[in-house]
Amino acid sequence: MAGKVYLVGAGPGHAKLITVKGLECLQKADVVVYDRLAAPQLLGAVKPGTRKIYVGKLPDRHTMKQEEINQLLVDLAKEGQTVVRLKGGDPTIFGRVGEEAGLLKKNGIPYEIVPGVTAAISVPAYAGIPVTHREMASSLSIITGHESPDKLDRMIDWERVTHATGTLVFMMGVSKIGYIADQLMRHGRPGTTPVALVRWGTRAEQETLTGTLADIEQRVREAGFQPPAVIVVGDVVLQREQLKWAEFLPLFGKRILVTRARSQASRLSERIDELGGESYEFPVIETAYPDDPKRLDEIRDALSRLGSYDWVFFTSVNGVEYFYRHLQEQGRDIRELHRAQIAAVGPATADALKQRGLVPVELPGRFQAEGLIETLGSRLQPGERVLLPRGDLARAWLPGKLAEMGLEVTAIDTYQTVMSQDEDGELLKLLEEGAIHVVTFTSSSTVTNLIAKLKQMGAQDPVRLLNKAEAACIGEITAKTAAEAGLRVSVVAEQATIDGLLESLCSYLNASHEQAQ
């Protein structure tokens, strides 16, 4: 039985600008056939085991002819696969979707065309240029600029195009910008007509160059401006100085690697995106249920004595979540802790407890184990019994300090931290090119696991690769681990929280920008 092919527009570059329908198609695909202009992060949305086939075209070479791509889609579908053909922008705008759909139709293959957000409109918008404006332009033309001058002349009626609409948008025409400008002026557009070129719009590499038809070729040459870019011609370009917004966001132009566990990465990624950066998720750790029978016996024994504890210290959100999971599996009632006082390290851990109806005694000023002792030290009495649910990689400092103070400590490893099994060849390429600008570390295990993972993926010198970026650490302990590994740590959060990490990062980047000026 034949499978089905979804011809999906990936949007202009930013991973979140794909449509909901497009993302749903990706998540159920058996095979993804993608090109250079699709956001690499989107490939992380596919289910485990999904094949990824790159067929993109580079400026200096073609990796696969269009006819071969068309046939590939047919062949994959005939194998019974659910196939997503992921294309930059919208597949119906210079995306050759008609050729692909035509061959699918001819071979009786079911398919759907899933529209995408076209770069012709979204890329100018990210540069602060609305392609229409009530007082400047009420119509729009989208024109290919990718072909040779002779081919452009055959395809484009310059007389009509020049005067057809208020705004002209040329796709992929950077190398032909001089010819395009000359033709428009020759057919009646004034040399003073504003022009903007927006390169890699919506992505971290976004760059905008403005000029007029008369001088834009020279400006492009002097700036060394390279494709891919969208060209906007018309008075709407003048709106940029008033409406540009992306460049003013504190993390604009920064691609930031998120290494924490996938279950926890979304909060950090969302904040990066809100601040104008481009998050790139590559989780290097995963939390898992303990698989050691001895540890499970220790947990069962500790939870059988819930009524005997004077204190329960939670040091992480994971510690809270797995503690409750063990309670549920053993049929225990949280009310057995009626005599215990609850303490939490950090506001996120406290929030996780509050969501379950437990309010911790108070938060430490420092969001690590030392802060807990600083805050509660005078209230802890020798002989009191403490339950400490945590992960297997937790530091020995806290139980050791509590024992030194005369308390009886029961520490249980309610979860284990393991290295993620994911691999990402695109990440190696981005690191080598210096296209990852900041690497975030939220625990010591993210440091050690990222280095190990890069080695596993083939990197000869992971530390050299990572030192092409700035390292931002959530706290002093994580920063110490990174420094000992040979990494150049630029940012250490003043408060060991996600918001604290990003606040410190923004301050550092702002200071660096001011110093550079």
Nearest to 246 by CA among 120, 127, 119: 127
C-alpha span between 319 and 394 (Å, rounded):
10
pLDDT of residue 371: 67
Which residues have C-beta within 8 Å of that of residue 73, sequence separation ≥ 6?
5, 33, 83, 85, 100, 103, 104, 109
394 band by pLDDT with thresholds 50, 70 and 90: confident
Length of the chain: 517
pLDDT tens, residue by residue, 488-501:
999 999 888 889 99
User: Mean of the per-residue pLDDT values for the chain?
Assistant: 90
pLDDT tens, residue by residue, 308-318:
999 999 988 88
pLDDT of residue 37: 61
pLDDT tens, residue by residue, 337-368:
999 999 888 788 889 999 999 988 765 555 56
pTM: 0.83
Is the pLDDT assigned to residue 393 strictly greater than 90? no
Percent above pLDDT 70 for the chain? 94
Is the pLDDT assigned to residue 4 strictly greater than 90? yes
- Enumerate the H helices of 165-286 as residue ranges: 177-186, 216-223, 240-243, 262-274
Which residues have C-beta within 8 Å of that of residue 93, sequence separation ≥ 6?
118, 120, 142, 171
Upstream peptide bond of 228 is cis (omega within 30 degrees of 0) = yes
57 band by pLDDT with thresholds 50, 70 and 90: low
Question: What is the mean predicted confidence (pLDDT) over 180-199?
Answer: 96
Question: What is the mean predicted confidence (pLDDT) over 261-269?
Answer: 77
3 state DSSP class of 269? helix
Residue 279: what residue type?
S
pLDDT of residue 265: 66
- The answer to whether 260 and 234 have CB atoms below 8 angstroms apart is no
pLDDT of residue 497: 84
- The answer to whether 392 and 289 have CB atoms below 8 angstroms apart is no
Decide which of 182 and 401 is more confident: 182
Nearest to 93 by CA among 161, 171, 167: 171
Nearest to 95 by CA among 59, 127, 141, 142: 142
Active site residues: 35, 57, 172
pLDDT tens, residue by residue, 278-325:
999 998 988 888 988 999 999 999 999 999 999 999 988 889 999 999
Range in 40-44, 200-204, 210-214, 216-220 with the lowest mean pLDDT: 40-44
Is the pLDDT assigned to residue 246 strictly greater than 90? yes
Percent above pLDDT 90 for the chain? 67
C-alpha span between 69 and 91 (Å, rounded):
14
pLDDT of residue 368: 61
Is the pLDDT assigned to residue 375 strictly greater than 70? yes
- For the record, the structure tokens of 179 come out as 């010819």
Decide which of 261 and 134 is more confident: 134
